[in-house]
Every structure is written in C-alpha cells, then in structure tokens.
Amino acid sequence: MTRQVTLGLVGVGRIGVMHARNITALNGILNPDGVHLRLKLTDVAEEHARSVAGEFGADFLPSVPELIASGIDGLVIATGTATHPDLIRAGVDAGIPVFCEKPVAVNVAESLPVVEYIREKGGTVQIGHQRRFDAGYLEAKRAYDAGELGWIHSLRAVTCDMTPPPVEFLATSGGLFRDCSVHDFDILRWLTGKEIVEVYAKGSNNGDPAIGEVGDVDTALAVVTLDDGTVGTVSASRYNGAGHDVRLELQGSEGSVLVGMDQQLALRSAEPGIVFPAGTPHKTFAERFDQAYRSEMAAFVEVILGERKNPCTPEDAVAASKVADAAQESLETGVPVRVAP
Ligand SMILES: NC(=O)c1ccc[n+]([C@@H]2O[C@H](COP(=O)([O-])OP(=O)(O)OC[C@H]3O[C@@H](n4cnc5c(N)ncnc54)[C@H](O)[C@@H]3O)[C@@H](O)[C@H]2O)c1
C-alpha cells in the first residue's frame, strides 16, 4: 500500500528549488518502497514561488502559517539563515519533523536558544549537512573506521565555489567559514569522531571589493587541531575558475584516501601524459552533491516515517558552528582561537 508523505517547503531560492526538484525526483525512487511524496511550498517572493510550484506540480501557499495549517507531515526550511530560528520554532510548535538547511542560526549565540527550545518541546530537527550522505565521504569514513588508514597524520579539506553568490546573500551569511567551511568542520567531526579544539585562520580579498565591504573574505584557510593533537587545514574560496572543487584528503600511517577525486575533479595534472580526470568539472554545489542531497531528503522522509534516527541533529550542527565561529574570530583577531567546549 502506498503511503503519502506531504512535505512543506519554505523558500525556493538557490537551494530551495533544488530541494523541490529532488523531492519530485524522489517519487520515482521511493515509490517502489510504497512512499509517495507530495510537495507544498511558499516563499515571500510570491510570483517566483507560484512559478516553481507550477514547474514541480506542487501546491503554492501564501504564507508559512497557511502552509503548516494546510496539513504537512514535515517542514523543509530553505530560506536565508537569519530566518531559520523562527521557522524551526514554527515547525516544532506544529509538532512535525523539520528539515532545516544549515546552519541553525547565523552564529552559535543565536543557535543555542533554538537548540534548547527544540529539546524542551521534544522536536525533531534534521540539519542539512549533506556531505554525510555523499558516497565519497561515506567510503572515507568506512576506511577510517575499519582502520585501513592507520592513524591520521594530516587532514586537508577544500571547498571552492567557481563564483561568489550575490553580495546581498554574503552580507547575511555570517562569513566564508560559517557559510562554506562549516561543511568541512562538520565532516571532520563526523568522520573522525574527534572534536576540533583550536583554529588559526587567515583570509584574503583579491576578488570583488564588495565582498570585503560587507565584512567577508573571498578566500580563507584555517589550520585546525583535533582533540588528539592531529593537525589539518580547511580552505575555501569563492573564485575557483577550474570548477566547484570539494575535497578531503586523509593521510594516515597505513593508507591515504582523497574524497572528490572523481572524473569531474576541478584540477588537472601538471605531469606530462596524464589524462585524468576525463570529465567536465562540476560547476556548482548542486551538481557536486546531487546524489547526497537526494539521499539526505530521502533520509528526512524516513525520519518522518519513524524509520530512521535523525542523521544530523541541531547539536551536531552547533558543534560545527562553534568551530566556524572560532575561525571567524581568529580571522578577525589574527591569533589562534580555542573552540568553545
Ligand atoms: N547545504 C548546502 O550545501 C547549502 C548550499 C547553499 C545554501 N545553503 C543554505 O540554504 C539557505 C538558503 O540559501 P540560498 O542560497 O538558497 O538563499 P536564497 O537567498 O537564494 O533563497 C532564499 C529564499 O527564501 C525566501 N525567503 C526568505 N525569507 C523567507 C520567509 N520568511 N518566508 C518565506 N520565504 C522566505 C527568499 O525569497 C528566497 O527565495 C541558507 O541558510 C544557506 O546557508 C545550504
């Protein structure tokens, strides 16, 4: 018997449209398991939202209260970061599971009351750290957990966009570490099971001066130290002309792995005669993590159905945000910063 699950999506901007597409696409994948997804959506940009609803066969609702009142089984939040706390509370108050794009709020101070609220009300909120569902990161974690890498001596994480998002978005994003590198901080914790305890960050602004004018940097690098003393680097840029480049290199006493070394890798070898990679580099995060975003949304449906434990809790997300906050502080002060326990 087919079970129907209705998802209510708030926000159909860059990532919201992708979620709408994935939710629609999941029907073909989930249907054989007897789940049919129905999509309802809203956005303050009404005309645009109506057109997205039309494109994906979704119902348009004029506001969040009306979306919730229309009867949904789960709320998907894909609005700008500053709106997350209120929308999470609205979903929790309605007694339905919530999926919210990362991060919980613009910084840790604003996230903690939200996490407390969720805990008090017994809410379920899955945060969107999609790399936890990416095949490459999953394989690296399997190899690490199985002891195939031995002990890790060096970690190198890279996240580079081809071009910056609009400056209006950057102005409210919390900065490059909170917006971009937070994914690397999350995945390092998730993969190693260790905490990042100290960060030393540097940044630069050689692209659009408008990025500096809103208080952000276009490129940055953080040296991170894990709780067992292991060191690593986490770097990010908004100007990677070669393509969208996301990698994680784990080098260990017994073996090494590189996540992201597929045929779409946005790097070419400088060695003569090497033809790898053969494909065209990914251009956007949506392309790079297509499979991961779908698996993440499928996981949320399983959470709604009570068939799966929450794969990324608000506490997980705040732990990564604490590292991002420390990195931002280090960037601004020029000294290493201990991560808040
Ligand atoms: N997981 C990832 O890889 C990833 C990637 C990109 C963005 N994000 C996160 O997703 C969120 C959205 O980012 P984006 O780039 O799609 O932003 P965006 O600005 O492109 O889209 C946001 C949309 O939300 C709508 N909106 C804003 N406030 C609203 C409200 N109160 N009610 C209804 N609609 C509202 C806007 O009109 C807009 O259409 C951010 O928090 C960002 O951190 C995550």
Domain ranges of the chain: 3-130+293-311, 132-288+320-338
- Cis omega (within 30 of 0) for bond into 272: no
State the residue for tokens 């969720």.
Answer: 118
Task: Tell the CATH topology of 3-130+293-311.
Answer: Rossmann fold (3.40.50)
pLDDT at 31: 76
Both structure tokens of 236: 């990010």
Q: Is the CB of 13 under 6 A from ligand 1?
A: yes
pLDDT for 194 equals 98
> How would you write the pLDDT of the chain (341 residues) with one tens digit per residue?
789 999 999 999 999 999 999 999 998 888 776 899 999 999 999 999 999 999 999 999 999 999 999 999 999 999 998 999 999 999 999 999 999 999 999 889 999 999 999 999 999 999 999 999 999 999 999 999 999 999 999 999 999 999 999 999 999 888 999 999 999 999 999 999 999 999 999 999 999 999 999 999 999 999 999 999 999 999 999 999 999 999 999 999 999 999 999 999 999 999 999 999 999 999 999 999 999 999 999 999 999 999 999 999 999 999 999 999 999 999 999 999 999 98
What is the residue-wise DSSP string for 178-235? IIIIHHHHHHHHHHH---EEEEEEEEE--S-HHHHHTT--SEEEEEEEETTS-EEEEE
Length of the chain, please?
A: 341
Residue in 141, 126, 83 with CA at minimum distance from that of residue 296: 126
Distance 257 CA to ligand 1 centre (A): 33
Atom number, ligand 1, closest to the C-alpha of residue 79: 24
Q: Is the CB of 336 under 6 A from ligand 1?
A: no
Q: Which runs of E-coded beta strand occur in 256-315?
A: 256-259
| 314 contacts 104 by C-beta, under 8 angstroms | yes
At the topology level, CATH places domain 132-288+320-338 in Dihydrodipicolinate Reductase; domain 2 (3.30.360)
Note the pLDDT of residue 207.
97
Measured between its terminal Cα atoms, the distance across the chain in Å is 48
DSSP E strands, the chain: 3-10, 35-42, 59-60, 74-77, 98-101, 125-128, 152-160, 196-204, 219-226, 231-237, 245-252, 256-259, 337-338
Average pLDDT over all residues of the chain: 96
Which atom of ligand 1 has the smallest separation from the CA of 165? 15
Ligand 1 contact via 43 beta carbon (within 6 Å): yes
Pairing of strands 256-259, 152-160: unpaired
- Between the CA of 234 and the centroid of ligand 1 the distance, in Å, is 24
